């Protein structure tokens, strides 16, 4: 029987990379993104009929709930074509025998580079100095002191794949590196030259606090008013992980109160961010629109690896990047 694969992140006229992988199988490949306007859901009436009979659902950031899975009788696999899978109820999928997979390794270089780019822009006051130059002030402005990188401490919260890469890059630029991650062995800190510290020590001593934790019940709201109050008034917060890790109104208030010097943010709790949100208009906060993972190479790689995962599972093989472990996968896919 021909199996349906729904690509919920792609337009129908741009699925060349996926078809290179899936074209040799007995699959009906359907791309829905053209019908998904900003903020819409897979369950919207014009999209849901396309999605409901899928055997594999490949998604971007859309919610995939237990209720949806209960109405998808053929579903064997949900693949997050990206890294963070917090929008997919992977535990409910496991109970229902459905694999959930992601692509954990396509943008380690890109996201860590973006964390460093935001850090350097903040430390060097890049945007402020661009503006003063445009206004005709052609000299170093002492009221925004620039510190030597070798005198700065880069603090990584969550020393996983991307956290380690950003630690290496920060060390390569001459910064001292400290890290907080209660779930990894001591050797992981040593491997990247990061000194292990507890959370409060990191928040109170780092010149740059760079967040690289997954979003889960423990990390949601981890950077709240209390955590921000620990930061040095000269320090910066960088978030390329997930928006809800930071209490954004508390961040804006803390920056305005000069509890910290500024922030670089790629991810926000609501995306796209409403254009009247104060976080977009605070001069000491740089916001980029969730593009840290982006590069020509990464966008190609993630699509190919997502499609490969669908091919594997729908032809009865185990996935390469499982994030759950269903005991009895539907329709015979092997564990």
Q: How far out from the chain centre does Cα 277 lie? A: 21
Concerning whether 242 is annotated as a catalytic residue, the answer is yes
Q: Residue 63 Cβ, how far from ligand NAD at the closest point, in Å?
A: 15
Active-site residue, selected from the candidate residues 256, 271, 297, 300: 271
The contact set with ligand NAD (CB under 6 A) reads: 83-84, 104, 107, 111, 157-163, 180-184, 212-215, 218-219, 240-242, 266-267, 290, 292-293
The residue (of 52 and 102) whose beta carbon lies closer to ligand NAD is: 102
Which residue is nearest to ligand NAD, using beta carbons?
160
- Give 22 or 203: the residue with its C-beta nearer to ligand NAD: 203
CB of 85 to ligand NAD, least distance (A): 8
Chain centroid, CA 215 distance in Å:
9
Tokens 């290496």 correspond to: 168
From first CA to last CA, the distance across the chain in angstroms is 21
Q: Is 201 exposed, middle or buried (0-12, 13-18, 19+ CB in 10 A)?
A: middle
- Minimum separation from the CB atom of position 68 to ligand NAD (A): 21
Catalytic residue, candidates 62, 125, 242, 284? 242
Residue 256 vs residues 121, 133, 285: alpha-carbon distances, Å: 19, 24, 10
Nearer to ligand NAD, 94 or 188 (CB): 188
Residue 215's φ and ψ, nearest 5 degrees, are: -85, 120
Tokens at 50, concatenated:
């396309």
Q: Say how far apart CA 285 and CA 263 lie, in whole Å.
A: 5
- Considering the candidates 212, 290, 305, 312, report the single residue annotated as catalytic: 290
According to DSSP H, which parts of the chain are helical?
Answer: 16-22, 48-51, 66-70, 90-95, 108-123, 126-134, 161-172, 186-191, 199-205, 225-229, 248-256, 296-314
Q: Which is nearer to ligand NAD, 238 or 333 (CB)?
A: 238
CA distance linking residue 134 with residue 138, whole number of Å = 9
**Minimum separation from the CB atom of position 294 to ligand NAD (A):** 7
Q: How far is the CB of 323 from ligand NAD (least distance, A)?
A: 10
Confirm whether 290 is a catalytic residue: yes
Catalytic sites, residue numbers: 242, 271, 290
């Amino acid at each position: 029987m021909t199996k349906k694969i729904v690509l919920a992140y792609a337009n129908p006229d741009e699925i060349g990379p996926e078809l290179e992988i899936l074209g040799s199988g007995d699959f009906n490949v359907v791309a829905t993104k053209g019908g998904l306007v900003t903020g819409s859901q897979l369950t919207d009436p014009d999209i849901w009929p396309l999605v409901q009979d899928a055997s594999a659902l490949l998604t971007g950031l859309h919610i995939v709930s237990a209720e949806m899975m209960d109405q998808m009788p053929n579903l064997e696999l949900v693949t997050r074509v990206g890294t963070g899978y917090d929008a997919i109820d992977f535990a409910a999928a496991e109970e229902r025998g459905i694999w959930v997979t992601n692509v954990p390794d396509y943008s380690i270089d890109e996201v860590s580079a973006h964390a460093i780019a935001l850090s350097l822009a903040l430390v060097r006051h890049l945007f402020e100095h661009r503006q003063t130059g445009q206004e005709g002030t052609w000299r170093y402005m002492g009221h925004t002191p620039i510190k030597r990188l070798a005198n700065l401490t880069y603090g990584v919260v969550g020393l996983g794949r991307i956290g380690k890469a950003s630690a290496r890059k920060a060390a390569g630029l001459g910064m001292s590196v400290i890290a907080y991650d209660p779930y990894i062995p001591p050797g992981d800190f040593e491997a990247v030259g990061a000194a292990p510290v507890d959370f409060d020590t990191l928040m109170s001593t780092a010149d740059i606090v760079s967040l690289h934790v997954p979003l889960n019940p423990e990390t949601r709201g981890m950077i709240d008013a209390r955590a921000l109050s620990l930061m040095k008034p000269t320090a910066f917060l960088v978030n390329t992980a997930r928006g809800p890790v930071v209490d954004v109104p508390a961040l804006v208030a803390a920056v305005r109160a000069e509890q910290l010097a500024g922030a670089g943010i790629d991810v926000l709790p609501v995306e796209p961010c409403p254009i009247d949100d104060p976080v977009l208009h605070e001069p000491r906060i740089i916001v980029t629109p969730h593009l840290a993972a982006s590069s020509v190479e990464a966008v190609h790689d993630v699509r190919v690896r997502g499609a490969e995962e669908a091919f594997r599972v729908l032809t009865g093989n185990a996935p390469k990047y499982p994030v759950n472990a269903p005991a009895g996968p539907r329709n015979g896919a092997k564990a």
